Structure 1
Amino acid sequence: MLMPEEHFALPNPRVLLVILLVGAVVTLWLVSYVIRRLYWYSLGYRRSPGVGVRCLTAVVAAAAIGMYVWGALHLVIDKTTADQECKAAVGAARAGDVDRYEPSFVPLGFGCHVAGGGSYEAAVPGYVNPAVAVLGFTAVTLAVCAAVGASQREEAERS
């Protein structure tokens, strides 16, 4: 039985291109921010309390975004590659039973759905989503700590 073509849709290439470009630019900007901050700090310019926490926050955020971009790179696939990925994920015996693809950007994944057998993840490595989640949570936590520390320092300076 032939399935409609929309069941075998690949990830939207325009969305994927925007994710890759914006992610790469933001990651590089964060890394350059850390390098500039640490360089200025080593020279004695712009020495402020909390620069270490802000730099660590930027490094962890860059790692989270970079990991997401790395996973998104695995979604740059064509029909042939998608078929091969699904065949590897579900096994050669069930490769003919794949009835649709299930690409997603959050969480990052490319699923191969087998009729009556569920979905199998393919293309995106299994470590990407947990790493993005842990790094993202850590970056947000560090950002909150940096903001609270800055607020406490301002309050202490006023009194």
Structure 2
Amino acid sequence: MATVTVALAFYIWGCLHVLFLEDQEQGEACEQARPEGTPTLIGRRGDFIPLRLVCEASNGHDYSVVIPHYINPTVAVLLLLALACALGSVLLRYKQRDSAG
């Protein structure tokens, strides 16, 4: 349960990076992170899985900004750890039930 809580906290931390930025600040972040040779930006969109703010260029390429790079891998590892713990718990419960009966 603790791993799920920590994963949720990291996810919310990533969401807060986007929620507290005004549209103008998001646009500035896109401009500052624009790769060399990338043409004009035509828009932005937010994705929730994986969590990211995507800047879209007129040539069809896009890139992510604002969300720290450690957020998505950390959430994935913590959720996998939570799943492993849940499966281990189920297996131990099953073994305990068999040995008692």
Q: C-alpha offsets along residues 111-159 of structure 1, whole Å, 9 cap, x if unaligned?
A: 101111611111111111111111111111111101110121122112x
Match of 2:50 in 1: 107
Greater share of strand: 2
Deviation (angstroms), 1:78: 1.6
- The 2-side partners of 1:128 and 1:138 are apart by 15
Q: In the alignment, does 2:18 pair up with 1:86? A: no
1:18-67 per-position Cα deviation (integer Å, ceiling 9, x unaligned): xxxxxxxxxxxxxxxxxxxxxxxxxxxxxxxxxxxxxxxx2212111111
Task: Identify unmatched segments of 5+ residues in structure 1.
Answer: 1-57
Contiguous gaps of at least 5 residues in structure 2: none
AA partner of residue 31 (structure 2): K
TM-score after normalising by structure 2: 0.87
- Shift of the alpha carbon at 1:93? 8.0
Q: Distance in 2 between matches of 1:82 and 1:93?
A: 20
TM-score (norm 1): 0.57
Whole-Å separation in 1 of the counterparts to 2:12 and 2:49:
12
Could you say which residue in structure 1 is the equivalent of 2:59? Answer: 116
Query: Which is greater in Rg?
Result: 1
2:52 and 2:24 mapped to 1: Cα distance? 17
| Larger proportion of helix | 1
* AA in 1 matched with 2:24: T
Look up the equivalent residue of 1:81 and give its one-letter code: E
Identity among equivalent positions (%) equals 24
Which residue does the alignment assign to 2:10? 67
The residue type paired with residue 67 of structure 2 is V
State the 4+ residue runs in structure 1 displaced beyond 6 angstroms: none
Q: CA deviation at 1:102?
A: 2.1
SS of the aligned residue for 1:150 comes to helix
Q: CA deviation at 1:69?
A: 1.0
